[in-house]
């Protein structure tokens, strides 16, 4: 067992800040190589993806547009309710654009599945998905992100944008929360 992370005895570090930075750079290179030098519209899923998205778009380089979707499926708990609600929609059209949907974590797959279909109706040139974390243990729909940072075990994680009751988003690493 590693030392408690960031002074909280309920959080154990799973992925370090340094490893996240390294993997984010790798993901950005993969995406840029695949989509070329043209403009890319990155769509961050709020709130969890905001820290990862900020680092990712800086690493991506080239012409990048940033959009956000507010989405809720947890409603304050540690398990997804399975009900996806759009709480904030895109502010600009994405028709004809190469889009990257940027997620913090793919758990049940319901949110990613819903959002890819939701965005496809807006006729982008392409939609790829980038997820910092993939937790396949609770998958309810057959869906995989196009690009995944880390596959993690079936544990509740916080930090680097992920929260528990709006706390711990500011941790610079991914930690496992154990009450």
Active-site positions read 107
Extract the tokens encoding 62.
Answer: 């080239």
- Planar angle of CA 116, 119, 123, nearest 5 degrees: 120
Nearest by Cα to 23 from 174, 177, 178: 174
Give residues with Cβ within 8 angstroms of 165, minimum separation 6: 76
For the chain, what's the residue count?
A: 179
Q: Which two tokens stand for residue 80?
A: 């997804």
Cβ count within 10 A of residue 25? 15
In terms of Cα–Cα distance, which of 45, 18, 5, 20 is closest to 129?
A: 45
């Amino acid at each position: 067992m590693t030392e408690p992370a960031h002074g909280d005895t309920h959080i154990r570090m799973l992925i370090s800040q340094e490893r996240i930075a390294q993997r984010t750079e790798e993901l950005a290179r993969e995406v840029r190589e695949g989509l070329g030098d043209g403009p890319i519209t990155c769509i961050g899923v709020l709130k969890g993806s905001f820290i990862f998205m900020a680092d990712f778009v800086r690493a991506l380089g080239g012409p990048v547009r940033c959009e956000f979707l507010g989405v809720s499926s947890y409603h304050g708990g540690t398990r997804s309710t399975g009900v996806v609600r759009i709480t904030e929609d895109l502010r600009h059209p994405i028709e004809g654009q190469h889009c990257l949907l940027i997620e913090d974590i793919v758990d049940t797959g319901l949110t990613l599945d819903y959002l890819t279909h939701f965005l496809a109706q807006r006729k982008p040139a392409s939609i790829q998905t980038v997820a910092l974390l993939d937790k396949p243990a609770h998958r309810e729909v057959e869906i995989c992100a196009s690009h995944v940072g880390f596959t993690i075990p079936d544990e509740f994680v916080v930090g680097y944008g992920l929260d528990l009751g709006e706390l711990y988003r500011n941790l610079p690493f991914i930690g496992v929360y154990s009450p």
